[in-house]
Amino acid sequence: MKLLQNSGIPIYQQIADQLRADILAGKLKEGEYLPSIRGLAKDLKISVITTMKAYEQLEAEGLVTAAQGKGFYVNAQDSEMLKEQHMRKVEEALLEAIHAAEVAGMTNAQLQETLSALLNMEE
């Protein structure tokens, strides 16, 4: 995990983003416990409240559950929710491509052509 001090993104947000990505990618499995808030704080050299806030955010998003006295474990990611998260990522990536195309002065037709060409290559 790389945390940037001056990126304008709060540290707890960076931690939550990184862990969310790991959970959605399946790197953290259902039922697996996240590092303890104090252990993670120690390793990352930050305050406990920061890791706590990151975990609370993931809990609010339904990605993890807090077990009294034991820590936070990864929730079963049902395929509906996972699919939705992945769909959202695809939309975000496509929006980025659209904006980049605008800046480059591409027309919509040219953009769609490029997409088809790339899809063909991937196959």
Q: Which of 17, 18, 22, 48 binds another protein (CB under 8 A)?
A: 48
Residue of 26, 31, 32, 38 interacting with another protein (CB under 8 A): 38
Exposure string of 11-44, with b = 16+ CB inside 10 Å and e = fewer, is bbebbbeebbeebbeeebeeeeebbebeebbeee
In the complex, least distance from residue 9 CB atom to another protein, rounded to whole angstroms: 10
Residue 26 touching another protein (CB under 8 A): no
Cα(30)–Cα(42) distance, integer angstroms: 25
Q: Under the criterion CB under 8 A, does residue 60 sit at the interface with another protein?
A: no
> What DSSP line would sit under 85-108, residue for residue?
HHHHHHHHHHHHHHHHHHHHT--H
* 53 binding another protein? (CB under 8 A): yes
CB of 12 to another protein, least distance (A): 6
Residues at the contact surface with another protein, assessed by CB under 8 A: 8, 10, 12, 36, 38-39, 41-42, 45-50, 52-53, 56
